[in-house]
Structure 1
């Protein structure tokens, strides 16, 4: 990549980070392009040249946010931590995200996810699902997941959870309960039991 392209990508990255920070704090609706430009130290024209519109910028910020979150989860999945520590890490990360995301930005992301044809869905199908199945296999090997549970039943469980999360009446209520919901996803209603 030549110097011009590198500078362009760096500037684009600064805009995405500035917009993400503002969206996390104030939501999408209350943030103007002018505020993003000021935070990114660029002109409004630069933002429009790179993204065309606020709607396009929002879509790119969602992708940027999802990629960052996925990179953190992938790092956790690929780590040498034992299975139960990986699950704790996932729960903690979800709790942290829920505490720091503005409800309006969360709604925008979830509407994109609920559409079912989004970047989020593609990442779920191509990357997250295979990693989750590998994590479940690891949990079986380490004695944390019942070895008699089939991959088909685990996939069905994840599918039911995913489909429920795409319903607006569910995702509008779930943000304050994120930690509990993720615990139920991994530990069931009985809990962790004996460690």
Structure 2
């Protein structure tokens, strides 16, 4: 049975996502992706001419998924202040996922950032996008200095992401939310 292009791409990306995230990019070869996806190696290389293009597609997909999950949490909150704190509620839920292994962008940057300028660029774009989103939320909440508040909140978020991956617990999201609450109280205009 010949798969249409969209189905084959989805199967390859599903396999790459699971394997890269679980094992790391460098530990997974194209043969493993082929086996897990059920797509022939020839077709795999037609869809993704190199492992680097597959890694880029994996990170692009992760970025879209992450933004979507974050937006769902933030948009469910009822007021601007609670939208900022919803970021940490989202992190808490994410950290509790059975397959949580930290941030795919931090992990990929750690593996490939010095040898792949594109991976480094994608990681930076993802993190800057998150920081911009925090700045927009801070401005909507009436922060005196939304950019400074975004800087503080991104450090709390990124620290919680890394700490949770290392510790294997979601508790860093709780601690980061508590610290974010204190910073918000000091940063929001009266």
TM-score, with structure 2 as normaliser: 0.65
Counterparts of 2:180 and 2:76 in 1: how far apart (Å)?
A: 27
Q: Quote how far apart the aligned CAs of 1:33 are.
A: 1.4
Q: Deviations over 1:144-183 (max 9, x none)?
A: xxx6x52242134257x39x87xxxxx6x77315845544
Classify the secondary structure of the residue corresponding to 2:34: helix
| Worse overlay, 36-45 or 57-66 | 57-66
| Number of the residue aligned with 1:150 | 145
Structure 2 unaligned blocks of 5 or more = 184-190
Check if 1:132 corresponds to 2:134.
yes
Classify the secondary structure of the residue corresponding to 1:188: helix
Counterparts of 1:135 and 1:8 in 2: how far apart (Å)?
A: 38
| Number of the residue aligned with 1:3 | none
Structure 2 counterpart of 1:188, from 167, 179, 182:
179
Q: Deviations over 1:103-147 (max 9, x none)?
A: 99853245567969622333444x433432343356x47xxxxx6
Classify the secondary structure of the residue corresponding to 2:27: coil
Higher RCO (Cα < 8 Å, 6 or more apart): 1
| Number of the residue aligned with 1:176 | 166
Q: Deviations over 1:39-97 (max 9, x none)?
A: 21110111111111222212221221222112111222222456277245323134236
| Number of the residue aligned with 2:5 | 8
Structure 1 unaligned blocks of 5 or more = 1-5, 142-146, 166-170
| Number of the residue aligned with 1:108 | 108
Q: Quote how far apart the aligned CAs of 1:16 are.
A: 0.7
Root mean square deviation of aligned Cα: 4.0
| Number of the residue aligned with 1:144 | none
Structure 2 counterpart of 1:121, from 124, 143, 149:
124
TM-score, with structure 1 as normaliser: 0.64
CA 45–72 in structure 1, closer or farther in 2 if over 3 Å, else same = same
Counterparts of 1:87 and 1:103 in 2: how far apart (Å)?
A: 15
CA 66–30 in structure 1, closer or farther in 2 if over 3 Å, else same = same
Q: Quote how far apart the aligned CAs of 1:15 are.
A: 0.5
CA 62–104 in structure 1, closer or farther in 2 if over 3 Å, else same = closer
Residues 112 and 118 in structure 1, CA contact (< 8 A), matched pair in contact too: no
CA 128–113 in structure 1, closer or farther in 2 if over 3 Å, else same = farther
